[in-house]
């Protein structure tokens, strides 16, 4: 009888250790995933294409060379239609969005649709272009 009791305790201990290990792995992988997103964002992203209803469109002439440079100190520099702007940004990894604030206090929120080492796809929270996915790439 004592052996059965020890076996049950051992079995329960193994279950507890297994569940705890799985929870630790799940939490740490989520934290590292968020950290990876943040680290991947720190770079210069060049405007590549616009995607509307699964069709891709190139940027027009005055948008050639447009970019966003997200710095590690949570500031950014962007060039849009030849005009450079600077400001600060906050990154929300849980909601997968970035809020950029220019020097005049104007905020622009952009949802991160996807991010990889070479590609960043944003969807800006601006009513006129809310259905447009904006793709940025890093130079190779």
pLDDT number for residue 78:
95
103-120 pLDDT, tens digit per residue, is 888 999 999 999 999 999
Query: What is the pTM (predicted TM-score) of this model?
Result: 0.72
Q: How far apart are CA 133 and CA 99, in angstroms?
A: 16
More confident residue, 97 or 31: 97
Domain coordinates of the chain in residue numbers? 1-41, 43-137
pLDDT at 122 over 80: yes
Q: Are 86 and 97 in contact (CB under 8 A)?
A: no
Mean confidence (pLDDT) of the chain? 80
Q: Which residue has the tokens 């790439």?
A: 137
- Band of residue 39 on the pLDDT scale cut at 50, 70, 90: confident
Q: Which CATH architecture has domain 43-137?
A: Beta Barrel (2.40)
Q: How far apart are CA 28 and CA 35, in angstroms?
A: 10
């Amino acid at each position: 009888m004592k052996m059965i009791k020890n076996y049950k305790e051992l079995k329960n201990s193994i279950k507890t250790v297994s569940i705890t290990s799985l929870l630790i792995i799940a939490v740490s992988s989520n934290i590292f995933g968020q950290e990876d997103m943040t680290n991947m964002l720190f770079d210069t992203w060049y405007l590549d294409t616009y995607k509307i209803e699964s069709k891709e469109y190139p940027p027009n002439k005055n948008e050639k060379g447009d970019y966003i440079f997200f710095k590690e100190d949570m500031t950014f520099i962007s060039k849009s239609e030849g005009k450079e702007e600077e400001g600060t940004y906050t990154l929300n990894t849980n909601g997968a969005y970035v809020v950029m604030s220019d020097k005049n206090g104007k905020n622009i929120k952009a949802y991160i649709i996807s991010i990889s080492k070479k590609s960043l796809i944003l969807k800006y929270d601006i009513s006129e272009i809310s259905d447009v996915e904006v793709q940025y790439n890093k130079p190779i």
